Amino acid sequence: MSGGAIEARRLPAWDVSFGNWPYPRLIAHRGAGLLAPENTLAALRVGASFGYRMFEIDVKLSADGKPVLLHDATLERTTDAQGPVGELSLAQIAQLDAGSWHSAAFAGEPVPLFSNVCAWLRANDLMANVEIKPVPGREAETGAAVALAAAHAWLGRAVPPLLSSFSEDALAAALRAVPRLPRALLLHRVPDDWLERLERLECVALDVNHEALTADTVARAHGEGYRVLAYTVNDPARVALLQEWGVDAVITDSVDVVPPQ
């Protein structure tokens, strides 16, 4: 890196356009859905054991600016600590137990560093949907930091990670930091100006709560040159219906029920 940025000449010529979509049709949510503690290396290993090749993970920053895997802005749901994630340094986060809340079998499982997860995925020829999940007030900082870390981790690889976020500020910062990384806009519902948002953020895909998705929206997105992802779909019949509509990737917890295709 130079000056906090990846030099453009060192980046692969990543092209994730409509006609060059390299990702599988099924993506494991937070590693292995509900079968292991979410956003841990243990969860990724469990998801991979069912044949999944791509994993949705949530990444935010520690107090000292290090990307780690955690979903919530606070610690109590998925660790043995309490309080805001953004107030702990990486060294403090590394001491947390991120497995006991799930089950005794995963007691002591640590909160993983994003760089370690990237290394494991690369070593096993697996792919990532990296959700940029900033703590409140650090949207742009997190978007840029995660994009730079992802680009550095995937240097030399043909298929880049797909970045996504509900935070448009985070996606805009990721765009500024590493324009070549593909981005998807996450939405709870489909607003009237969704196409304008995708264009402004130079996204390649729309990533929508499956309950808010319609076949017409999928068709319109495709007609405008965008791919469509749907989250979080745990009923195999619903997965099949979405795929009939042409949804390009479905994110699921049901890694033990829905074949990865």
Give me the CATH number covering residue 120. 3.20.20.190
Please write the tens of the pLDDT for every residue from 182-208. Answer: 999 999 999 999 999 999 999 999 999
Q: Which of 127, 136, 128, 151 is nearest to 61 (CA)?
A: 136
Catalytic site residue 29? yes
Position 172 in a domain: yes
Position 227 in a domain: yes
Q: pTM of the predicted model, to two decimals?
A: 0.95
Position 85 in a domain: yes
Strand partners, 126: none
Position 191 in a domain: yes
For residue 216, is pLDDT > 90?
yes
Position 21 in a domain: no
Residue type, 192: D
The DSSP element (H or E) to which 78 belongs, if any, is none
H helices then E strands: how many in the chain? 8, 9
Which of the pair, 153 or 5, is modelled with greater confidence?
153
As for how many domains the chain has, the answer is: 1
Q: Which of 57, 51, 54 is nearest to 260 (CA)?
A: 51
Q: Is the dihedral of CA 184, 186, 187, 191 positive or negative?
A: negative
Please identify which of the residues 29, 102, 152, 188 carries the catalytic annotation.
29
For residue 5, is pLDDT > 80?
no
Catalytic site residue 71? yes
Please identify which of the residues 71, 102, 210, 222 carries the catalytic annotation.
71
**Beta carbons of 250 and 26 less than 8 angstroms apart:** yes
Position 258 in a domain: no
Torsion of CA 155, 61, 43, 123, to 10 degrees: 20
In the Cβ-directed half-sphere of 241, how many Cα atoms lie within 13 Å? 11
The DSSP element (H or E) to which 260 belongs, if any, is none
Position 12 in a domain: no
Q: Domain range holding 220?
A: 26-252
Please write the tens of the pLDDT for every residue from 159-185. Answer: 999 999 999 999 999 999 999 999 999
